[in-house]
Each structure stands twice: as C-alpha cells, then as structure tokens.
Structure 1
Amino acid sequence: MIHLQKESGRIRLVLDAYFMGEDIVVLISGGDQPHLGTITAGARLEPIQTVQLQAHKEFYITEEIAVCLRKEFAGNFAICCGAHMDHVTKDEIRMLTDMAIQLGKELIDQLKQKRL
C-alpha cells in the first residue's frame, strides 16, 4: 500500500493505493465529506473509461491522473475519487484539483522507484 496526503488551508486530501497483484486501485478522498464521486479505470493498451456518479465532477482529477498513470504503469488500474467541501470557493476548487493531481504524480514517482 502507498499512502500520501496533502493539506493546504482547510483542504485535506488523502491518496491510498492498493496493489492487487500487478494491478492497482487508487482512492483519493478528502474535504468535509469524502465520498465516491467518480471512477476511472484503464490499462496501458485499453481505453480509459469513466463512471460519473450523480453530478460529481471529480472526473477532471481521475482522468488526468489516468492519462499519466497509463504511460508509466503496466497493469490495470482503477482510480476512485470523491472530495466534498461545504461552502467551497472557486479558488479552493482549483487548489483541491491541483493538489489531487499532484498526489497522482507523486504516486507515479513512487511506482517508478519501486520498479528499480
């Protein structure tokens, strides 16, 4: 398992990645009410597929991480994300999105190191 987290102001995000053999499941959650908003799955040679639950918009995060992950990771993957913040501002949404994508890039860096 890989555990990463980021915090800035009132935004706190956690990324946990679980290995299933050669595959990986990534959970990104945080905010006031963590939930399951979007799931993006794929593999190096398969198209990326996203399921958006209700009107959640975390696909901006999961799809960007998926594009980067499929370039570096040989196995199948699923990225689940949900972070809700009460009374969130546009700047906080932008910051939360950037922080989540940075967590995804840190995960990819750790996966690269494990290959050595």
Structure 2
Amino acid sequence: MHDLTIEKGRIKINLKAILIGNDLCIIISGGDSPHIGSVTLSIPRPSLSDFKKRSATTSILNLVGHKDDEAARYVSHAISSKLNKNVVTTCGIHIDNITAEEITIIMDILKELTNMLLSKLSN
C-alpha cells in the first residue's frame, strides 16, 4: 500500500493506493469532513485519436450534492492511462467555506499526488 499526504495552508489531502492483483484501488480523502462523494472506474484502452497511445474510459458514480467527480476522474483516468491498469477511485474532500482559489489548490495537490504515485508504481 502507498500512503501519500500533501498539506498546503488549511488544505490537507491524503491518497492511499492499494494494488489488488494487477488492478489498483485509490482512496482520496481530506478537508474538514472526509467522505465518499464520488467513485470512478477507469479501464485502459488505445487512444481514439492515436491508437499508438494509451488512454482510458472512465465511468463515474456521484453522490447527490457532491462535487468530487472531477477530482476522482482526473486521478483515476491519469493513472489507468499511464500504468495500463484498471483503477477504482473513491474521493471525498470537504472544506468548510471553500474558495475558488482553494479548489484550484486541491486540483494542484491532486496532480502532485498523482505524479508521486506514478513515480512509485513505475519503479
């Protein structure tokens, strides 16, 4: 299992990744009230625009009233495409009175965590 955390200001995001055979399960949580807000499944496939490249098809289940789907989709899709693995991601980040700037910071943190995980799993 890989357990990664990044904290910037009042935003703290944790990513756990568990290999299940050749598949990967990722749990992203953080903020004032971690929860399950969205679940994604990414399945690797050849890119539709260039069959020499790999992409993924990502399906999303979102709980009503939650906006974690963009974050979960980004991580799931990126990792599935790069590692050629089926990836399930659950994501729940809640920060009271979040600002637009903090939403941008969350996505930057998730990109950093994704790159960290890719580096660890590519070795």
Q: TM-score scaled by structure 1?
A: 0.89
Between the aligned partners of 1:105 and 1:58, the Cα distance in structure 2 is 19
Partner SS state of residue 85, structure 2: coil
C-alpha contact (below 8 Å) 1:65/1:105 kept by paired residues: no
Structure 1 stretch 21-30 or stretch 50-59: which is displaced more?
50-59
Q: How does 1:99-114 map to 2 (within 5 A)?
A: 99-113=109-123
| Shift >6 Å, 4+ stretches | none
Between the aligned partners of 2:18 and 2:26, the Cα distance in structure 1 is 6
C-alpha contact (below 8 Å) 2:42/2:77 kept by paired residues: no
- 1:43 is displaced (CA, Å) by 1.8
Per-residue CA deviations over 1:52-107 (Å, capped at 9, x if unaligned) read 11121111112122231122223311011111011111111111122123212211
Q: Which residue number in structure 2 is paired with residue 73 of structure 1?
A: 83
Partner SS state of residue 115, structure 2: helix
Alignment of 1:13 with 2:23, yes or no, is no
Between the aligned partners of 1:52 and 1:105, the Cα distance in structure 2 is 24
Structure 1 stretch 53-62 or stretch 33-42: which is displaced more?
53-62
Partner SS state of residue 55, structure 1: coil
Aligned CA-pair RMSD: 1.3
Q: Which residue number in structure 1 is paired with residue 93 of structure 2?
A: 83
Q: Which runs of 5+ in 1 are unaligned?
A: none
C-alpha contact (below 8 Å) 2:38/2:68 kept by paired residues: yes
C-alpha contact (below 8 Å) 2:39/2:61 kept by paired residues: yes
Q: Which residue number in structure 1 is paired with residue 29 of structure 2?
A: 29
- 1:20 is displaced (CA, Å) by 0.9
Number of residue-to-residue matches in the alignment: 113
1:33 partner amino acid: S
Structure 1 stretch 51-60 or stretch 1-10: which is displaced more?
51-60
